[in-house]
Structure 1
Amino acid sequence: TLNTAQKEFHAKLVNIASAPLADKYYSRSRLETGGTSSIRKETIFYPKKKYDPANFSTITSPNSRREVPLSCLHTPRSTDKRTGTVYNFLNSDQLHSPMSKLRINDWDNKSDDRMSNEILFNIGSITPRTIRNKNLITVYNVTEDNGIDFNNNHKFNNNAINTKIKNSDSDEINWCTCENMPLRLHPDHEEQLSKFPFEKAFEIIRFMKPFGKLDWMAIDWCALSRISTANIYDEIYKNHPIIQMLPKKASNSTWEPPKLVNGENDTAIIFSAVLEWTSKEHHLSLNPPKRGPSKRFYRKFGSDRFLSLKVDADLQKLNPNELEKLKRLLLKPIILAGRTFELLYGKDNTIFYFATRGKNIKKTSIYKLIDWHIPFKGDNLNMSVSKFVSRIALGLSDTRPTVIFQPTEIRRVKDVTSADGNHCLTDGCGAISLLAMRKVAEVMSWTETPCALQGRIGSAKGIWFLDPNLDISSGIWIELRESQVKFDVWCGDEDRFSDEALRTLDVVKVIKLPSTPGYLNTQYIRVLGCGGVEQEVFLRLVLRQINEYKSKIVGCNDPLELIKWIEENFNIMGMRLDEEKNAKIYDDSLLETSSNNSSLLEEFGEQAISSGFPLSTHERCLQLLQAGFTPQNCPYLAKELTGIMTRELNMLTSKFRIQVPLSRVLTCIADPTGTLNPGEIFIQLDARAGLDVRTLLPFGVIEGDVIVTRTPCLLPSDICKVRAVNNPNLSKYSNIVIFPIKTQQPNDGSLASRLSGGDYDGDTIFCCWEPSIVGPFRNSPILGTQSAVKDAILVDKTKIQDILSTEKPQISLQEKILDIHINDLTKKLNLYSHFHDLCVERYGVQHRKSIYFAQMCGHLVDALKQGLTVKENVFIQDSALFHSDSTPLWMMERREQKKKKRNKERKLPDVPIEDISHQSLTNTGFLNRLLSSMRELLADVSSPGFTIAPNATMEIDNGITMLFG
């Protein structure tokens, strides 16, 4: 029988070995047993790296003072063969697990053999399974039932424990760093951090191990308590002796007081992390906090309760076991800075976590948060799980709060439908009063009242346009059409009407200024060719684009002319104004340029708007020219202009991005007046939308034939020729395109729905009135969905009430949210789009098989919201159709451009496009013939006369050498 001191010491050892959240930073701890125990001291180490049995690191024996191989830790009882000394340790499988890394040394078992042997026997008898079970019952709060015997170390019912664990609400933390170290900090450090606000605690943790490289022992807690969060970085690193790459510092503007709108934050501090995941390892890192757009959830619960986790993983390459492992990890809560973050929603490649409990916050479960947003009542329970999950995103949209409407100012109105009642003709748009729109403009600090905006209010989303009556005496009001309302946010509960957050118009964006021409792409070109537009039409547009470079850039040393060309073609200042209005940061992706500036966005993005830093190549050129530099006296400017031309010319051959001067990309709305006839549209462009290249005058009202389309554009009927008219009733609306709410036939749908299933909740339309394109084009009839498409799709009909009826509804809902998110990331839309490309090359746009793949793509676009998946046997059959197909030349060209882009990001050498000559290529098809002709035109550009500054060369990706400065 052990005495009291021995029992206490034994208990300490068991607790240490059982602790799944042991902190690696607490590098040394002395456990005193007291009394006359012969065990003088115990030293506990938390290795920085996972223990490798092949690594014969050593420990020191207190008796011989000689080094003993660490391999003796392989068994609970090992012998040093040189001295015969017996060493007793816990099994290394447990000691060196990712969650519990420790080793015990300095063991003296000679002073009192009886006492030591008893202690050693008890310690050695703690097998890995026993320790594991003690871990599990502690972490999972498993109760003593179902055959679980807590008093007998050897008689655990493992099946019972596993069953209890499976059904428990566990907070076990499996999250760790790349060094397999747990996130949970030592209690002493957590206690110190608990004295700070979350923002300051987050910053400290970001700099220290395991995320940073600094040791916790170096922290001066008293000094940190006296300084602001903005100065944490400088305080921690001011005396750091090690020369190394320091973590990024948060922008000073992050910690500045935010602008308030209606008493609420106009922006929010964003807390984020990145999970780098491969089949072999994963690494979690924290990003610097930054100030960014606010969201409804942020304003209601506080942005510091949300953590966005970017999952950096190629899910397509993960096998089912690896994917399941990733899903299990993402479902685990993350304990960070004293708060427990649980999975809320997935969007794109980002997972949003919500702090359900922790320091200085009210305990709020995921269930309660969602119930505030979408009440689990009434008709909401009949929503499909897929649609329900997609509606959570409304609370996570980037928005700015504006007008708070009173309940009496919110009008519910019905949609306009087709004569047979089967089609909605006003899907997603409604009216707002002039006074309300003026108030929105005032809150947003706009200089003029917009005619339309995109927003959210309560459970409604879409576009709101000015009331055509412009009656300011009608007061403040807003219409919510049935198609705009996505769920019942009130549920007859009068208390919810008192919540102003549910009655606030949250603005997503004001309609952008269409000051630059639109561009054709591969999808548009193929359908236009199918509709009768000849190849020569596109070649003339390409030649015009090249000649414009010659006339506007090559040999030009006039800063004013170059400034005019950049502003007219790339809308730099207009884009900056738009993004300032919408509280978003723009980058070169909006200009469809290369990734050279993406790293600049990541580094300077949060400072871009406030600092005026020229983020894009176009704006850098603009500012240099405005400062008086020219390509002749500034090699850097010549190089940047070279970059602009390189990207534009490369996109001619890789993306077929052909500019059409007589076109614009406009947001569409349904006719507010109902005065447009079937087949008519209304477009009015003001002076800010650019000049007509034919007259050099503002466009004004567009009249005549116009083709309209949107992306995706795969079916022959996805491009439609209509007639633009001058309708005085709509003269108050500019820089948007208005579609009719009248139809030719009783069973016709809206014009927006004809364009690849569009609607009026924010869709943008490519509108072109170029005579050479519009003239020869002929409309194609709308085709019904093929029976093969209907048979290929599986629909998940699970209702949200089915999830709520499970034993653990919150866990079931989180699992479903993650499953839908993963399925969305791994969905087969891109593959079917590729199948469609190959099929069109082989058979043409109008072939039955091409129609099949186009309709499959149309269904998969909304797969997330509709709960659609492709049957596996159908996917296998469809894939086999093109297994041996040759790759079209134009597709290989695009693939090579992407490869060069990735190589440039990774600083790898480029592979010349000639290296693809060994590939199996086809040079037939409309796009391939067009590509060959475009290359001939680009060859002319390589002439010695095509220069902007002497004594420099530039090589285009398609092999053409051009002279530049």
Structure 2
Amino acid sequence: MLATPARTPQAPATPLRPISTPVAKTPTVATIRARLNNIWPKFPLWLRDAPFAVAWEMMRIGVHCKVDLSTLDMDYNPAWATESGIEIMWEDLQRYDVEKPIDPSDASLANPRFRNFPDKPAADAYIAAVNGDFKSRGGMVVMVAQLVYNEKPAGPLYHVEMKPLSLDTKQCRLARRFGPDRFLEILIPSPTARAAQHSKMAGASTAIIDWITGGQHSLAGRQWRAFYTKKAGFRTPKTDVFLLPHDPKPIQTDRIHLFAEGGLNFMPAPEGDDAFVVDERETPESRTEFKVSQMLDWLLQIKMSEKNRDQPYLKLFSRIHLGLTKTTSGYVFNKDDIMHQAEDLRSPTGQVMNDGIGRMSLGVARHIRDVLGHAEIPAAVQGRIGSAKGMWIRDVDDTDENNIFIETFPSQRKWECDAEDPHQRTLEIKDVSRELSPSTLNLQFLPVLEDRAIDKPKMRTAIAERLKKDLEREFAAQDNAFESPLHFKQWLGQQFSTREGRVSRGYVPMMGGIPEKQEEVLNMLLTGGFDPRRQEYMTGVVYKLQQQKCDDLKLKMKIQVGKSAYIYMCVDFTGTLEEGEVHLGFSNKFCADNEGESFTLLANRDVLVARSPAHFPSDIQKVRAVFRPELHSLKDVIIFSSKGNVPLADKLSGGDYDGDLAWVCWDPEIVDNFHNADVPTEPNLDQYLDKNKTKFSELIGSSPVPQGRRKKPAPVNNDQVEKAIYAMIDKSFQFAMLPDYLGICTNFKEKLCYSLNSVSNRPALVLSSLVGKLVDQSKQGIIFTEDKWADLRRDLCDNLRLRDPAYKGSFMMDIDKIPPHALHIVDFLKFKVGIPAIAHHLKALKAKTSTNRDDPLGPHRWDPDLVLFHKNIENLTPPSTSMKQVLKALKEALEPVFELWQKETAKRQTSPPSPGTAQYKARVARVYQAYQAITLESLGCKVNPSTALLLSGGTWLADAGEDSVFALLKASATFKYYYDRHNTFTWTMAGRQLCVLKALATREGRLGGHLTVSVPLMNAAMSTDQKFVKQYLARQEGNGGWVVDDEEGEPGEYDDY
């Protein structure tokens, strides 16, 4: 049983201070180890009876505010574990500041302690955590923390930042079995990254990794142990949170997964029961101690199977990811319903032709449809079951909806699994095939398409025409949006998706009186009745959004090809397709954008298939699309032939059928001008690459299973296996956190191909092969060092001068000085086609959104509807002296708030905060807090009872706060006095109330409709009904009063308007 820490003596309440660590003139590994001893914040014993979700959020507040909660003399409040618990937490902490203030004589301490609270967790996430065992509607509550380097030479090596509880719509197998609350993710700067501190110090990275894997970490009252890690990309540290240098460079980050082995209120595990597994019915408040080694043995069944122990430990470690993949629980099979095939489909040369794919019954596919709530039965599902992963396609020979079975093949099974636990027999759904839509052309495909073009100028022209058409459509939609507010609402819904943020939070996050996101600001103002053609604040937001989008288009051009789609690759188990043939049918008409064509299937035509990333010239293949009646039920997937010597998927950048998407193009101007390249012979890279082949069995000293022989499982020593599991974790962390050369080699290869304007030269082929191997580096145990990378560069291109691609930069390139044959295709498309069109559009948009005071119909800052409320109140002042005093005091109270705004956001500051950053939001929050503090009581006016009753709205509105009559008056006054002095201040403070005032004053509500209100969750659930907008506008514009309802009507049925 884990020891319960002794109660910490209460000390004077103080903010967190770094624990002093001796600083050597030259840091040593011993210094690094010492600075790793005090990373985690202390847990306050007054939280020991709090639910874990409450403890997490309270600890997060303490960390954010830099307050050591263990020094506070507080008591747990059960109200914190309710739906409004976060607000009550904040109120209690602020009250504590008032009742037990810090000694004002100590200038080094922040006073008050709790001034700026962190972002709130999403309401549904917090409710699910305190009331729903960290689960909600098939999803799970996720906990994430981040470690950021401490730039100071003393104190903890890392700062801790705890993220708010968030809700993921899916769960992983391990969370389903052991509870989401037992899993924690930590983001940490990679200890071995070149940009990492102490990267040049021998042994420093090993010391940090040893600290990560060598024992338990205490956070929020639980003891966590690391068990898996994976690269998490490059991230830029937040300069405004930890006072880092102003412009730090992005650094490679690792994601670490930890498991709660024990903690406060955990029950001890039974002694001497080696087969013990915790009961899955346990709740977050009644957990039992359970080790990481036991959890991983449940997943990988190491003790049970000698074959599993005989795997390379790095490959076995990589399989942990299957247990962490976020999925939807699909179907729990009986053991007899799972058919484990002994052999894969093989070609005459012995190659596996169905790598990663098996079949399922129609009944299973139907059940998956029902679980996901889809209308169509999917042809294929990507998922996991037991130790198997990949795709499962419907068995075309099975027509009985009540038939239940699924089959797995050796290429799908990653370890031996006895499937005794129902969780190991559950089909976990990662994704399914679905209705297809036109796709954009990946820029990586462009050099290959040009390389394989029969007529290269013609190929370049065809792609340029599609880019032009795509931009013209984009800009035409923007221009059309200004026809009316409803047109604008339609355009906004098409261009900007707000669903993900709304779903994760359950409300629209606000920054002061307006939403945080600019597109949500426009949504709110449109809903309030504002016209984007008339209100200057709206047109300013529109221009910023479109400018940002155009900047994105310049950096990452999106070329839409109407006759193309990304489609799951599957294999023909029936054997009806010949080599070089594919089958593709659509569940609904595939509309090729505005090109006027639609398709139900592709037959008797050539198509291109490709897989991203495309490195070799052979990574795009021209094949023949045919229709086979035997495969007609398989829709929205592309079926590849199982005949030939090499699977088609393998020709596409080494792909397989475990969930890879193919880009399929049937645009004749592109397809007919393309001819295939042979798959190149793989170069020998043995002199540059080494491999770690150590097996797990070697970590426990047992002998591997001889090839071709089976023997009864030898008895294993449980203690030895446990030690070997922890050894596997430590060694795998050390390997996984080695410098990542995949991105470095990919970028180098891109520069080389750009400099030579060729993708088919020998250095490019060698580098493409290297990149293909490095994709699976951690799983395959490939060792590639900085010295070997230098050797390879010297051997391949020692005398070549490589240039950075111009298309990756933000500067304009003068392409007229470059000969056409030497101009890279992406440079041509960006600088000759894209940027000029974008610049012309932005110039026109600027003219349309700029204020012209001589144009009464153009955008203006002034809006009489917003001062009408103040004017009506002002009209009461002659008979009401107290009302006159209120208006005067209100005007005077607003000025200090405006001065605070100027101080907090002034551009003349040395380093003003950028809008959207945490620092900017924190400063706005301070101003907004001062704005909210202006109440009728705070004005100090002596008002008569009738005036007080009017401004409070009566007893029933006395606590309405932001919705009170006084709040509307304050907003109207804010607009009257500051709309022209500082538009952003006006709307950021009073935006929500200004929408209420506009809605009350609008004339549309008097035409038979009525104003409506909504609670935050319902507001978040609202979205633009594109069909309603389309049909309503068609009616208004007189384009036909008979409109087909595609969703509810049958063919031939119409709605009569």
**TM superposition score normalised by structure 1:** 0.69
- Structure 2 residues not aligned, in runs of 5+: 25-30, 98-111, 232-253, 267-286, 703-719, 852-857, 861-1057
Count of residues in correspondence between the two structures: 739
- Taking the aligned partners of 2:542 and 2:690, their CA distance within structure 1 comes to 51
Match of 1:284, SS? Answer: strand
Q: Does the C-alpha gap of structure 1 residues 423 and 929 become closer, same or farther in structure 2, counting only changes over 3 Å?
A: closer
- Taking the aligned partners of 1:617 and 1:516, their CA distance within structure 2 comes to 28
Post-superposition offset of 1:664: 0.8
Equivalent residue for 2:277? none
Equivalent of 1:508 in 430, 439, 455: 430
- Residues 471-529 of structure 1: CA distance to partner in whole angstroms, max 9, x if unpaired? 22662111112211111011xxxxx52x1111111111223443242223134434443
Are 1:354 and 2:251 matched, yes or no? no
Equivalent residue for 2:146? 274
Q: Does the C-alpha gap of structure 1 residues 551 and 326 become closer, same or farther in structure 2, counting only changes over 3 Å?
A: same
The structure whose RCO (Cα within 8 Å, separation 6+) is larger is: 2
Equivalent of 1:433 in 349, 358, 361: 361
1:803/1:813 contact within 8 Å kept: yes
Q: How does 1:481-500 map to 2 (within 5 A)?
A: 481-490=409-418, 497=420, 499-500=421-422
Post-superposition offset of 1:656: 4.3
Are 1:827 and 2:732 matched, yes or no? no
Equivalent residue for 1:364? 290
**Quick one: percent identity of the two aligned structures?**
22
Post-superposition offset of 1:202: 2.3
Are 1:254 and 2:125 matched, yes or no? yes
Q: How does 1:860-899 map to 2 (within 5 A)?
A: 860-880=774-794, 888=803, 891-894=805-808, 896-897=809-810
Q: How does 1:346-745 map to 2 (within 5 A)?
A: 346-348=229-231, 349-358=254-263, 359-360=265-266, 361-376=287-302, 377-414=305-342, 416-472=344-400, 475-490=403-418, 497=420, 499-532=421-454, 533-534=456-457, 535-554=460-479, 557-558=482-483, 585=500, 606-607=504-505, 631-633=532-534, 638=539, 642=543, 646=547, 649-650=550-551, 653-687=554-588, 689-691=590-592, 693-701=594-602, 703-743=604-644
What is the identity, as a one-letter code, of the residue corresponding to 1:554?
D
- Residues 305-333 of structure 1: CA distance to partner in whole angstroms, max 9, x if unpaired? 11111114582323153423431332242
What is the identity, as a one-letter code, of the residue corresponding to 2:121?
A
Q: Does the C-alpha gap of structure 1 residues 99 and 249 become closer, same or farther in structure 2, counting only changes over 3 Å?
A: farther
1:555/1:948 contact within 8 Å kept: no
Q: Does the C-alpha gap of structure 1 residues 850 and 625 become closer, same or farther in structure 2, counting only changes over 3 Å?
A: farther
Are 1:757 and 2:654 matched, yes or no? yes
1:295/1:395 contact within 8 Å kept: yes
- Taking the aligned partners of 1:639 and 1:701, their CA distance within structure 2 comes to 46
Equivalent residue for 2:55? 201
What is the identity, as a one-letter code, of the residue corresponding to 1:805?
G
- Taking the aligned partners of 1:653 and 1:196, their CA distance within structure 2 comes to 51
- Taking the aligned partners of 2:588 and 2:521, their CA distance within structure 1 comes to 26
Equivalent of 1:335 in 218, 221, 229: 218
Q: Which piece of structure 1 moves more, 478-487 or 330-339?
A: 330-339
Match of 2:680, SS? Answer: coil
Equivalent residue for 2:11? 27
Equivalent residue for 1:306? 183
Equivalent of 1:786 in 652, 675, 683: 683
Post-superposition offset of 1:184: 4.2
Q: Does the C-alpha gap of structure 1 residues 802 and 338 become closer, same or farther in structure 2, counting only changes over 3 Å?
A: same
Q: How does 1:914-929 map to 2 (within 5 A)?
A: 928=824
- Taking the aligned partners of 1:366 and 1:876, their CA distance within structure 2 comes to 40
Q: How does 1:182-197 map to 2 (within 5 A)?
A: 183-185=41-43, 189-190=44-45, 192-197=46-51
Q: Does the C-alpha gap of structure 1 residues 426 and 216 become closer, same or farther in structure 2, counting only changes over 3 Å?
A: same
Equivalent of 2:17 in 48, 53, 65: 48
- Taking the aligned partners of 2:163 and 2:842, their CA distance within structure 1 comes to 49
- Taking the aligned partners of 2:520 and 2:8, their CA distance within structure 1 comes to 48
Equivalent of 2:698 in 802, 811, 817: 802
Q: Does the C-alpha gap of structure 1 residues 852 and 392 become closer, same or farther in structure 2, counting only changes over 3 Å?
A: same
2:807/2:830 contact within 8 Å kept: no
Equivalent residue for 1:846? 760
- Residues 229-254 of structure 1: CA distance to partner in whole angstroms, max 9, x if unpaired? 54443333214143621122222211
Q: Does the C-alpha gap of structure 1 residues 193 and 553 become closer, same or farther in structure 2, counting only changes over 3 Å?
A: closer
Q: How does 1:138-217 map to 2 (within 5 A)?
A: 174-177=36-39, 183-185=41-43, 189-190=44-45, 192-208=46-62, 212-213=66-67, 215-217=69-71
1:554/1:946 contact within 8 Å kept: no
Q: Does the C-alpha gap of structure 1 residues 650 and 219 become closer, same or farther in structure 2, counting only changes over 3 Å?
A: same
- Taking the aligned partners of 1:370 and 1:792, their CA distance within structure 2 comes to 34
- Taking the aligned partners of 1:712 and 1:767, their CA distance within structure 2 comes to 14
Are 1:856 and 2:770 matched, yes or no? yes
**TM superposition score normalised by structure 2:** 0.63
What is the identity, as a one-letter code, of the residue corresponding to 2:364?
A
Are 1:316 and 2:194 matched, yes or no? yes
Post-superposition offset of 1:389: 0.9
What is the identity, as a one-letter code, of the residue corresponding to 1:201?
A
- Taking the aligned partners of 2:416 and 2:801, their CA distance within structure 1 comes to 52
What is the identity, as a one-letter code, of the residue corresponding to 2:728?
L
- Residues 274-306 of structure 1: CA distance to partner in whole angstroms, max 9, x if unpaired? 111367541112222222231111111111111
Equivalent residue for 1:32? none
Q: Which piece of structure 1 moves more, 859-868 or 524-533?
A: 524-533
What is the identity, as a one-letter code, of the residue corresponding to 1:837?
E
Equivalent of 2:228 in 328, 340, 345: 345
Match of 2:465, SS? Answer: helix
Q: Does the C-alpha gap of structure 1 residues 414 and 614 become closer, same or farther in structure 2, counting only changes over 3 Å?
A: farther
Q: Does the C-alpha gap of structure 1 residues 299 and 681 become closer, same or farther in structure 2, counting only changes over 3 Å?
A: same
Equivalent residue for 2:164? 288
Equivalent residue for 1:816? 731
- Taking the aligned partners of 2:503 and 2:818, their CA distance within structure 1 comes to 42
Post-superposition offset of 1:933: 5.9
Post-superposition offset of 1:551: 3.9
Post-superposition offset of 1:778: 0.7
- Taking the aligned partners of 1:699 and 1:566, their CA distance within structure 2 comes to 30
Q: Which piece of structure 1 moves more, 710-719 or 647-656?
A: 647-656
- Taking the aligned partners of 2:603 and 2:541, their CA distance within structure 1 comes to 36
2:610/2:621 contact within 8 Å kept: yes
Match of 2:607, SS? Answer: strand
What is the identity, as a one-letter code, of the residue corresponding to 1:774?
V
- Taking the aligned partners of 2:773 and 2:78, their CA distance within structure 1 comes to 56
Equivalent residue for 2:844? 947
- Taking the aligned partners of 2:782 and 2:7, their CA distance within structure 1 comes to 45
What is the identity, as a one-letter code, of the residue corresponding to 1:785?
E
Match of 1:838, SS? Answer: helix
Are 1:236 and 2:93 matched, yes or no? no
Match of 2:366, SS? Answer: helix
- Taking the aligned partners of 2:84 and 2:761, their CA distance within structure 1 comes to 65
CA RMSD of aligned residues (A): 4.2
2:143/2:166 contact within 8 Å kept: yes
- Taking the aligned partners of 2:448 and 2:731, their CA distance within structure 1 comes to 39
Match of 2:847, SS? Answer: coil
What is the identity, as a one-letter code, of the residue corresponding to 1:540?
E
Q: Does the C-alpha gap of structure 1 residues 530 and 628 become closer, same or farther in structure 2, counting only changes over 3 Å?
A: farther
Q: Does the C-alpha gap of structure 1 residues 935 and 405 become closer, same or farther in structure 2, counting only changes over 3 Å?
A: same
1:273/1:284 contact within 8 Å kept: yes
What is the identity, as a one-letter code, of the residue corresponding to 1:197?
P
- Structure 1 residues not aligned, in runs of 5+: 1-18, 30-44, 55-73, 75-96, 101-172, 491-495, 577-584, 586-600, 898-912, 955-962
